[in-house]
Amino acid sequence: MATVKSIEYAEASAEVRAVYDDIMATRKTDRVNNFWKALASHPPTLRRTWESIKQVMSAGSLDALTKELIYLAVSVTNQCSYCIASHTAAARKAGMTNAIFGELIAVVGMANETNSLASAYQVEIDERFRIQP
Amino acid sequence: MATVKSIEYAEASAEVRAVYDDIMATRKTDRVNNFWKALASHPPTLRRTWESIKQVMSAGSLDALTKELIYLAVSVTNQCSYCIASHTAAARKAGMTNAIFGELIAVVGMANETNSLASAYQVEIDERFRIQP
Amino acid sequence: MATVKSIEYAEASAEVRAVYDDIMATRKTDRVNNFWKALASHPPTLRRTWESIKQVMSAGSLDALTKELIYLAVSVTNQCSYCIASHTAAARKAGMTNAIFGELIAVVGMANETNSLASAYQVEIDERFRIQP
Amino acid sequence: MATVKSIEYAEASAEVRAVYDDIMATRKTDRVNNFWKALASHPPTLRRTWESIKQVMSAGSLDALTKELIYLAVSVTNQCSYCIASHTAAARKAGMTNAIFGELIAVVGMANETNSLASAYQVEIDERFRIQP
Amino acid sequence: MATVKSIEYAEASAEVRAVYDDIMATRKTDRVNNFWKALASHPPTLRRTWESIKQVMSAGSLDALTKELIYLAVSVTNQCSYCIASHTAAARKAGMTNAIFGELIAVVGMANETNSLASAYQVEIDERFRIQP
Amino acid sequence: MATVKSIEYAEASAEVRAVYDDIMATRKTDRVNNFWKALASHPPTLRRTWESIKQVMSAGSLDALTKELIYLAVSVTNQCSYCIASHTAAARKAGMTNAIFGELIAVVGMANETNSLASAYQVEIDERFRIQP
């Protein structure tokens, strides 16, 4: 159970409703996830987070699916259950197949292993990696 | 300075040289990164890690650039300096532009923020995220 | 379900009971949290941890509420469910309002985002931050 | 060395200069930290991050010093060197004494220890911690 | 609930069954853990991971129990619930007593505390620790 | 450079010297590591941490070498440079050979990979792992 009271649409302030409306319009859905209902307990955080997410996750040089895969890679590394569940769903909606999912997780797993190995041996950064673009 | 002695090609055993040769052939380069020279202090780990990386990072359902971006996302989340430096270089080699790098880091930063928010409020997983594919 | 048997007061050794009694007296309550009942499976860890917590969390240059907020910030960053739940309750008892909770989580979220950004770009430490007090 | 080119004021675009000017005016300083110069490599992230930080870190229900202490607690837990160095400096500027610093770090250390203990034993959340406010 | 469909033996492909058979033969059991059933959704990851685990976890210079304790120490530090539960069981099977478990967790807790302290103060590495073997 | 002033023996208070003396006597050395000199900036944390470390790291059901290996496994997982460097040295002093070091790091790397895999697929804990001893 969440540690804050979730704010349902019916009981939300006009400020919170405006964010909920924008979420549903942007995502073409008639539901608001539990994440946003929890954030609504602190409206400035709800609004700021939604505005940031909307800007950051929209397609740009990277397409929406790639962004969702990156998001999921971070969530798995942080072992955040809610984030893994919700962004696995979001990535599937954006086109992630089972084959892509399998390869994604293989990369994430290997990266976490090799990160440990590099740290364990305190490997020095190769000189040629230090050159700025 | 690394906590193990790096193994240079000239002093390497035949077993280690075989891995180094495969790394250079696969990556079309005449240099072996410090990471592999450190792993060579334990040859079974060198060989197993290289075989896994080679399999996991080659293009499949996901192209090589996307895999490098995912790898980098994990390394940033783990705050592993060596890994960030080496995979920023690898991703650039695979086609990462400055614009892509900027968007990648924006997604990684946002994911780390929202992971905290979801955990902080102990948000319950929405029922519809629980359905198996 | 815990991976060790919880030790209830009725079945506890004299050594464990002494710690339980001190916890209840210090915290002015007649209940002992599940955390301590699990730690009681290894009495030296129970006693040492309680003595440390008691010393570290009592008001000093920082008041008790500020200490609880710091504790909660760490627990959220580690994504430790038990710790978030128990220290959200402890912080409320120490005076945390909904407004304070909202601002706390906003700071923790931002810090986790900017930590990622600083690491991602491998930002060099500004010279003036290196000066010792 | 950073993995992106730092943008100095003299070479910055008007968009980046506007953010730099606001940072210096808000913080009453004539210098911009390396962190912002690195973020300037992706102007939308620079602007969005600065706007968020400015909103989140200004005094509200929590004073500026408490917010800096929380920020530092997160940075220590993430083991982010740049963040620890810069926010130790920021916290001192906001009034952190050596005594406060000592107590802060003691709490952060204990929280990281007890987070491990709670996870290790997979302690179940006490029923009374689940009640929403 | 898992985010992928678990593959039971009866419905598994010949490739997956071969791995399951090897797991059961190696571990002298007639059951396959949920972990492997989830990995079976991506057969290359299932096979590669099992081959690696089998090689890495078998007794060598370190006995099987010590390896399980190290595995558990990592899982606790990552706060991975599944991993803690499954490797607590595996460690007990390999000979971990309650007394050993208690001491293990005490070391893990202390290491997480002192890691925070060392990072918090940005302690410089002593010159003599830098000498390679 | 550390963010606090290191306290050398010559300038230390009687309280701090008493801890330094005990560290040198217990460890049979005439040097005090930078870690302790940094902690000495907050004497209660110095004393409490040393007392805890001394108790936790002494041989019990687990020998001193195994405890150092566990400590190192945690430090690698946290990617704490100082801790990795100092505890690699401590483990070598306690008997860690190159072969043991290689196997240790292999286990730590694998554990970090499989932790990611278990989290990625949100694997449900097998019923038989839930049974208390």
Q: pLDDT exceeding 90 applies to what percent of chain D?
A: 92
Residue F89 burial (CB count, 10 A): 21
| pLDDT for residue E57 | 96
Asked if E66 contacts F69 with a C-beta cutoff of 8 angstroms, the reply is yes
The answer to whether the Cβ–Cβ distance between A1 and D130 falls below 8 Å is yes
Q: Which residues of A touch D48 (CB under 8 A)?
A: 52, 55-56
Chains in touch with D (≥3 Cβ pairs < 8 A): A, B, C, E, F
| Distance from C-alpha of D44 to C-alpha of B107, rounded to nearest angstrom | 12
Chain centre to alpha carbon of residue F94: 13
Tokens for C5, please give them: 């048997």
| Distance from C-alpha of F18 to C-alpha of F36, rounded to nearest angstrom | 12
Residue B54 burial (CB count, 10 A): 13
Closest alpha carbon to B6 in B41, B31, B43, B30: B41
- What is the DSSP-derived secondary structure letter of residue B96? -
| pLDDT for residue C131 | 63
| Distance from C-alpha of C125 to C-alpha of A39, rounded to nearest angstrom | 33
Q: Which residues of F touch E121 (CB under 8 A)?
A: 2-4, 38-39, 41
Residue E132: band (very low, low, confident or very high) from pLDDT cuts 50, 70, 90: low
pLDDT at E93 over 90: yes
The answer to whether the Cβ–Cβ distance between A49 and C98 falls below 8 Å is no
pTM of the model: 0.96
Closest alpha carbon to C81 in D129, E85, A109, E34: D129
Q: Which residues of E touch C53 (CB under 8 A)?
A: none
Asked if D39 contacts D3 with a C-beta cutoff of 8 angstroms, the reply is no
- Nearest by CB to residue B102, choosing from D41, D78, D79, is D41
| Distance from C-alpha of A72 to C-alpha of A87, rounded to nearest angstrom | 6
Residue from F80, F112, F122 to probe the interface with A (highest A Cβ count within 10 Å): F112
The answer to whether the Cβ–Cβ distance between B132 and E5 falls below 8 Å is yes
- pLDDT less than 50: residues of chain D: none
pLDDT at E3 over 90: no
Tokens for E16, please give them: 């997956």
Q: pLDDT exceeding 90 applies to what percent of chain C?
A: 92
Q: Which residues of F touch E89 (CB under 8 A)?
A: 128-129
* 3-class state of residue E54 by DSSP: helix
| pLDDT for residue E84 | 97
Describe the crossing of helices D98-120 and E64-78 by its angle, rounded to 10 degrees.
120
The answer to whether the Cβ–Cβ distance between D85 and F3 falls below 8 Å is yes
| Distance from C-alpha of E126 to C-alpha of D104, rounded to nearest angstrom | 25
| pLDDT for residue D2 | 82
| pLDDT for residue C83 | 97
Rounded-to-10 torsion of CA F105, B54, F112, F34: 50
Q: Where are the alpha helices (DSSP H) in chain B?
A: 14-27, 34-39, 43-57, 64-78, 81-93, 98-120
Amino acid at C106: A
| pLDDT for residue A3 | 85
- Nearest by CB to residue A117, choosing from F105, F120, F121, is F105
Q: Which residues of E touch C45 (CB under 8 A)?
A: 102, 105-106, 109
Phi-psi region of A123 (alpha: psi -120 to 50; beta: other; left: phi over 0): beta
Q: How many CB pairs under 8 A join E and F?
A: 211
Per-residue pLDDT in tens (0 to 9) along chain A, 133 residues? 688 999 999 999 999 999 999 999 999 999 999 999 999 999 999 999 999 999 999 999 999 999 999 999 999 999 999 999 999 999 999 999 999 999 999 999 999 999 999 999 999 999 888 765 5
- Nearest by CB to residue D116, choosing from E108, E117, E120, is E108
Tokens for E44, please give them: 């290359």
| Distance from C-alpha of F125 to C-alpha of C117, rounded to nearest angstrom | 34
The answer to whether the Cβ–Cβ distance between E45 and A105 falls below 8 Å is yes
Note the ipTM here: 0.94
Q: How many CB pairs under 8 A join A and D?
A: 25
**Average confidence score pLDDT of chain E:** 95
Closest alpha carbon to F108 in F64, F78, F63: F78
Residue B115's Cβ-count burial label (10 Å; 0-12, 13-18, 19+) is buried
Residue from B105, B116, B121, B122 to probe the interface with D (highest D Cβ count within 10 Å): B105
- pLDDT less than 70: residues of chain F: 1, 131-133
Residue F59 burial (CB count, 10 A): 12
pLDDT digits (tens, 9 = 90+) for C55-86: 999 999 999 999 999 999 999 999 999 999 99
pLDDT digits (tens, 9 = 90+) for E51-79: 999 999 999 999 999 999 999 999 999 99
| Distance from C-alpha of D93 to C-alpha of D97, rounded to nearest angstrom | 9
| pLDDT for residue C130 | 78
pLDDT at B104 over 70: yes
pLDDT digits (tens, 9 = 90+) for C11-43: 999 999 999 999 999 999 999 999 999 999 999
| pLDDT for residue B2 | 81
pLDDT digits (tens, 9 = 90+) for F96-124: 999 999 999 999 999 999 999 999 999 99
Residue from A15, A45, A50, A71 to probe the interface with C (highest C Cβ count within 10 Å): A45
Asked if A32 contacts A9 with a C-beta cutoff of 8 angstroms, the reply is yes
* 3-class state of residue C96 by DSSP: coil
Mean pLDDT across B88-105: 96
| Distance from C-alpha of F13 to C-alpha of E124, rounded to nearest angstrom | 22
Mean pLDDT across B7-18: 97
The answer to whether the Cβ–Cβ distance between E105 and D120 falls below 8 Å is yes
